[in-house]
Amino acid sequence: MDQAYLRTHPEHLPTFLTHQRIRETPVGGGSVSTASRLTLDDGTSIFAKTWPGGSPPADFYEAEAAGLRWLAEAGAPVPELIAGLPQMLATEWLDEASPTPESAERLGRDLADLHQTGAESFGAPWPGYIGPLPLDNTQDPGPWGRWFAARRLRPFLQRSADRGALTSDDVALLDRLLAALDAYSDPERPSRTHGDLWPGNLLWSASRAYLIDPAAHGAHRETDLAELALFGGAPYLDRILAAYQEVHPLSDGWRARVPLHQLHLLLVHTAAFGASYRSAVATAAEAALRAIG
């Protein structure tokens, strides 16, 4: 088993793993899947993700594989897909390095180029997932505000409320925001986006940052950029944004809209992980209402 054979016969990878024909070394960083480094007979390595303790949800890894292909078609810096199978996903192995101002600026230009590629609609032509949760990718021509409220906020608001991660006051606040979004006018056309671009989904190499673990779909480009500021923020975020602006300038008022665009991923976290993210959701919702009110 070498990379040349594996690229031609990716469906054989699970069998070789089952029969211990490939050396498997666990690696950290995965909150949903079990991540491993697989060393092949030719001495090269690949990165693999599998579902812990059983079978993944239907289409889980195929959805990520579809997103990686779609982003790669636009020239985005994503790892090469080797196998996107029902039970696992494998990509090229990338050696990590420390971020630099230069690689941050390159990321800004890479994201601008990706977003300028555009998408045929909001959503995507495949079923989606974000983290462990389903993502409604029903394709929709927009407008963006209505789509964002219906497909990216309301489902995760409902899940969060059902598990007790949000209070009744939080739900009422978010309901006001959803109503405002239904009437909100934003002329931005759908962009091809990573869809889950918090800083942990960047892999920094010696020359550039790669986009990993996508929930790719057509969306508002400001959402990708806003998510880069979450959970401590990406390294050299100001350099990323400045380089982006040189290539594909953002509309006036984009800074005030950052909390609005962060709400999707924050609600995913209350839906998946609970009330520890409640205050961040409420703070972002209040700021979002001020921005579009």
Number of domains in the chain: 2
Specify whether 53 is located in the same domain as 106.
no
- Higher-pLDDT residue of 20 and 238 is 238
Q: Are 137 and 274 in contact (CB under 8 A)?
A: no
- Condensed to tens digits (0 to 9), the pLDDT of residues 269-282 reads 999 999 999 999 99
**Which residue range forms the structural domain that includes residue 123?**
101-292
CATH number at residue 58: 3.30.200.20
State the pLDDT at residue 82.
Answer: 94
Q: Which residue has the tokens 């409640």?
A: 278
pTM of the shown model: 0.94
Cα gap 140→133, rounded to integer Å? 20
Strands (E), the chain: 23-26, 34-39, 45-50, 81-85, 88-92, 128-130, 133-135, 191-193, 202-204, 209-211, 217-219
Q: In this structure, what is the dihedral angle of CA atoms 112, 116, 121, 124, given to the nearest 10 degrees?
A: -50
Q: Are 228 and 237 in contact (CB under 8 A)?
A: yes
Cα gap 137→80, rounded to integer Å? 23
- Condensed to tens digits (0 to 9), the pLDDT of residues 39-71 reads 888 888 999 999 988 789 999 999 999 999 999
Specify whether 81 is located in the same domain as 107.
no
- Give me the amino acid identity at 254: W
Specify whether 86 is located in the same domain as 109.
no
Specify whether 119 is located in the same domain as 257.
yes
Specify whether 14 is located in the same domain as 63.
yes
Q: Is 272 helix (H, G, I), strand (E, B) or coil?
A: helix
- Higher-pLDDT residue of 42 and 91 is 91
Average pLDDT over residues 258-286: 98
